[in-house]
A and B are shown apart, each in its own frame.
Chain A
Amino acid sequence: MITMRDFFTGRLVPVLTILAAIVVIWYGAAVALNAPVLRDFEKRAGEQTQGMEFILKTWSQPKPTMPAPHQVAAAFWKYTVGVKLSSNRSLIYHSWVTLSATLLGFAMGTALGVVIAISIVHVPALDKSLLPWIITSQTVPILAVAPMIIVLLAAIGVTGLLPKALISTYLSFFPVAVGMVKGLRSPDILHMDLMRTYSASRSQVLWKLRIPASVPFFFASIKVAIAASLIGAIVGELPTGAVAGIGSKLLAGSYYSQTIDIFAALIAGSICAILLVTLVDITGRFVERRMGVKP
């Protein structure tokens, strides 16, 4: 049992120290990276600032090479709280566009992965022929196909949410399929034999033994899958040409060298990822506790 004190000295203090160190390094990097451009600019303007004044200037450039943390925070605040939800500049709106594609793709990918896993466990021919290909296909950089899928679907008239969601599906079904095959095979031989002595049918074995046994594997693999889904949705937004979503904000930022905007979009994407993973984690713990797992 971890006491509160252990938590503070063993976990919280080290994490906060390192986070503080990251912020300090970040400010230092902002000075180092922005200094050459600023010196150049001042030389042409014929002025010369020194010491602290110069450092402060590097932290408040309108288009810095490396934005300082407070600039990113200010931009993030402005684009989330400072603008209306329906506005094209609202990061909450863009996050929602990306999240909706992520969730749709994740749902389809998980369903597909579970169906594939169940058929692989029940059909020996599929186990021998399909499973090696699923594992091989994980070594293929699937995101390379993303722009093609988007453009092809647009060519036959499918646009909007679905193409992005399909890329998410593509990325998220692998971990679920592989994890669930392991999970559905995890009941030990004694339990399987017991089911046989009950003369249970295959579907009874599936519903009463295999699926309950696979629940921990399921949550472990959907945690990977939902992070992959988000990446799929963001990359899926790149070739659409900056319409909406976090990916399009990244692309627009890179067109106009708006580093502050790129960082703000990155923060929004990271918050989405943390929210999604935490949500899966909490659901998993809740379900496992309801199923009688002792913490």
Chain B
Amino acid sequence: MIAFRPNWQAIAAFLAGLASLVALPFTATMETGASLLVTVIVVGASVLSMLKLRPAVEAVILAVASHGAAWLLIGGLEDAFGTATFGYFASLAAAWLLAWRLVTVLSEMKLTSVTAQRTVSLIVPAIFGIWILILWEALTRGGGVPFVLLPPPSSIGARIVTSTNILAADFVQTVLKAVFIGYLIGTLSGFVVAVLADRFRFLAAGLLPIGNMVAALPMIGIAPIMVIWFGFDWHSKAAVVVVMTFFPMLVNTLAGLAATGHMERDLMRTYGASHWQVLGKLRLPVAMPFIFNALKINSTLALIGAIVAEFFGTPVVGMGFRISTEVGRMNLDMVWAEIALAAVVGSLFYGLLALAERIVTFWHPSYR
């Protein structure tokens, strides 16, 4: 027995699909047949989605229909910049609503196996990301948004492919030299100072409030001074990164070293452990979650510091330099290519740290 189970996304998609019929074909170069096919796909899928189907079946239908329709719609934009009609946007909205319904169905699925749960928790955000790109592409090209305002993702992708040399040079200059070296020096010295300060209670008591205050200050402002001191090349950027990463590391390590309980420390004392033994076997392992927290905060701060410091003067290479000059020349696709690179580097950096944290602090309750 088949029964209806209406949901608002499907109803809205159904109506939008029908509404798109008033303006056929959708773009100047899209054939009427292809336009009709899109309408049939979205209307058909929305009707199927309202039937009482098994969630897995519904999800497959919705995934094929929404992405198939989107593929046809983007294909229809060939040589049709800015000619999209009302029907185009109505059917795009219908396809997007079906994708929303798909995400809803997937999130509400009751899964028992761990692998299935993991897969869904990866697929759902992936669909969200893909639809950001689809809507961005279709709206900028279909709606005729000027290139200097917002280039479509396809031309940013093309730009990345054609200017790998420039991107690689900028990556070496900004990330491998300024960020990497500055990050190493800043975090290591923050850690060493914290361990030494912890040996003397007086130093720790004085450094912690000052460090906490400095961590809230706009430290990025020292960039012009560092450029005056260390010159235009990467050394000044690394210096900015050192200053920006030092204090979060100092404060977090001090807090982590203070996180051991009395019982554990008393136990170590009954073993007759020396200060350094207690530090290495008890207090540093306990401080690890705090230290990794600082490492993660610093990974973002280091990239920001190096890129912004380049706004104050650089040799003619580097991600921050490229962004500020290409904005001035209205080469927005190059700017977005650099931003994509920065995003990938930032996420990878963070991801690697999160992975290392999992391995080092495997004992922590949040991973057990």
Report B's interface with A, CB cutoff 8 A: 100, 103-104, 106-108, 120-121, 124-125, 127-129, 148-150, 202-203, 205-207, 209-210, 213, 216-218, 220-225, 227-229, 299-300, 303-304, 307-308, 311-313, 319-320, 323-324, 327-328, 332, 335, 338-339, 342-343, 346-347, 349-351
Query: Which of A129, A142, A145, A274 has a CB less than 8 Å from the CB of B213?
Result: A274
Q: How far is the CB of A8 from chain B (nearest CB, A)?
A: 12
Q: How far is the CB of B172 from chain A (nearest CB, A)?
A: 17
- Taking CB atoms, residues of chain A closer than 8 Å to B210 are 15, 18-19
Per the bound structure, the CA–CA distance linking A19 and B207 in Å amounts to: 9
Question: CB of A138 within 8 A of chain B?
Answer: yes
Per the bound structure, the CA–CA distance linking A180 and B238 in Å amounts to: 35
Q: How far is the CB of A106 from chain B (nearest CB, A)?
A: 14
- Taking CB atoms, residues of chain A closer than 8 Å to B106 are 128
Per the bound structure, the CA–CA distance linking A265 and B319 in Å amounts to: 26
State whether A14 and B125 are in contact (beta carbons under 8 Å apart), knowing that A128-B107, A139-B347, A227-B216 are contacts in the complex: no
Query: Which of B100, B209, B303 has a CB less than 8 Å from the CB of A141?
Result: B303
Question: CB of A136 within 8 A of chain B?
Answer: yes
Per the bound structure, the CA–CA distance linking A269 and B221 in Å amounts to: 8
Per the bound structure, the CA–CA distance linking A132 and B218 in Å amounts to: 28
Chain A 77-98, CB within 8 Å of chain B: the 1/0 string?
0000000000000000000000
State whether A144 and B225 are in contact (beta carbons under 8 Å apart), knowing that A17-B202, A152-B149 are contacts in the complex: no
A139 touches B308 (CB 8 A): no
Q: How far is the CB of A270 from chain B (nearest CB, A)?
A: 5
Which of the 9-residue segments A45-53, A158-166, A207-215, A249-257 touches chain B? A249-257
Q: How far is the CB of B209 from chain A (nearest CB, A)?
A: 5
Q: How far is the CB of A249 from chain B (nearest CB, A)?
A: 9
Per the bound structure, the CA–CA distance linking A250 and B223 in Å amounts to: 9
Per the bound structure, the CA–CA distance linking A270 and B216 in Å amounts to: 8
Other A-B contacts than A251-B224, A270-B218, 7 sampled, CB-CB below 8 A, are: A125-B104, A128-B106, A138-B300, A141-B303, A142-B304, A231-B218, A259-B228
Q: How far is the CB of A285 from chain B (nearest CB, A)?
A: 16
B307 touches A143 (CB 8 A): yes
- Taking CB atoms, residues of chain A closer than 8 Å to B335 are 148
B342 touches A140 (CB 8 A): yes
Query: Which of A18, A142, A144 has a CB less than 8 Å from the CB of B320?
Result: A144
Per the bound structure, the CA–CA distance linking A138 and B197 in Å amounts to: 31
Per the bound structure, the CA–CA distance linking A250 and B220 in Å amounts to: 10
Q: Which of B125, B224, B323, B327 has the most CB of A within 10 A?
A: B224
What is the chain B residue whose CB lies nearest that of A156?
A: B149
A254 touches B228 (CB 8 A): yes
Per the bound structure, the CA–CA distance linking A152 and B332 in Å amounts to: 10
**In the complex, number of A-B residue pairs with CB atoms less than 8 Å apart:** 159
A136 touches B149 (CB 8 A): no
Query: Which of B104, B224, B346, B347 has a CB less than 8 Å from the CB of A250?
Result: B224
- Taking CB atoms, residues of chain A closer than 8 Å to B209 are 11, 15
- Taking CB atoms, residues of chain B closer than 8 Å to A181 are none
Q: Which of A125, A227, A246 has the most CB of B within 10 A?
A: A125
Query: Which of A124, A259, A263 has a CB less than 8 Å from the CB of B104?
Result: A124
List 4 A-B pairs, minimum CB-CB distance, nearest first: A14-B206, A254-B224, A129-B128, A18-B206
B205 touches A125 (CB 8 A): no
A129 touches B350 (CB 8 A): no
Q: Which of A155, A156, A250 has the most CB of B within 10 A?
A: A250
Query: Which of A11, A140, A254 has a CB less than 8 Å from the CB of B205?
Result: A11
B221 touches A124 (CB 8 A): no
Question: CB of A133 within 8 A of chain B?
Answer: yes
Question: CB of A230 within 8 A of chain B?
Answer: yes
B224 touches A269 (CB 8 A): no
A133 touches B128 (CB 8 A): yes
- Taking CB atoms, residues of chain A closer than 8 Å to B228 are 65, 254, 257, 259
Question: CB of A277 within 8 A of chain B?
Answer: yes
Query: Which of B149, B207, B346 has a CB less than 8 Å from the CB of A140?
Result: B346
What is the chain A residue whose CB lies nearest that of B219?
A: A231
Query: Which of A144, A155, A231, A266 has a CB less than 8 Å from the CB of B319?
Result: A144
State whether A144 and B342 are in contact (beta carbons under 8 Å apart), knowing that A124-B107, A139-B349 are contacts in the complex: yes
- Taking CB atoms, residues of chain A closer than 8 Å to B221 are 234, 246, 250, 262, 265-266, 269
Query: Which of A14, A155, A234 has a CB less than 8 Å from the CB of B220?
Result: A234
- Taking CB atoms, residues of chain A closer than 8 Å to B104 are 124-125
Question: CB of A38 within 8 A of chain B?
Answer: no
- Taking CB atoms, residues of chain B closer than 8 Å to A127 are 107
Per the bound structure, the CA–CA distance linking A147 and B225 in Å amounts to: 21
- Taking CB atoms, residues of chain A closer than 8 Å to B205 are 10-11, 14-15
Per the bound structure, the CA–CA distance linking A227 and B227 in Å amounts to: 24
Per the bound structure, the CA–CA distance linking A139 and B300 in Å amounts to: 6
Per the bound structure, the CA–CA distance linking A59 and B90 in Å amounts to: 70
Query: Which of A14, A19, A141, A263 has a CB less than 8 Å from the CB of B346?
Result: A141
Interfacial residues of chain A within 106-138, with CB under 8 A of chain B in the complex: 124-125, 127-130, 132-133, 136, 138
Q: How far is the CB of A1 from chain B (nearest CB, A)?
A: 18
Per the bound structure, the CA–CA distance linking A253 and B222 in Å amounts to: 11
Question: CB of A33 within 8 A of chain B?
Answer: yes
Per the bound structure, the CA–CA distance linking A120 and B242 in Å amounts to: 37
Interfacial residues of chain A within 242-295, with CB under 8 A of chain B in the complex: 246, 250-251, 253-254, 257, 259, 262-263, 265-266, 269-270, 273-274, 277
B148 touches A155 (CB 8 A): yes
- Taking CB atoms, residues of chain A closer than 8 Å to B121 are 128, 132
Per the bound structure, the CA–CA distance linking A129 and B106 in Å amounts to: 10
Q: How far is the CB of A280 from chain B (nearest CB, A)?
A: 10
Question: CB of A176 within 8 A of chain B?
Answer: no
B225 touches A262 (CB 8 A): yes
What is the chain B residue whose CB lies nearest that of A124?
A: B107
Per the bound structure, the CA–CA distance linking A240 and B123 in Å amounts to: 41
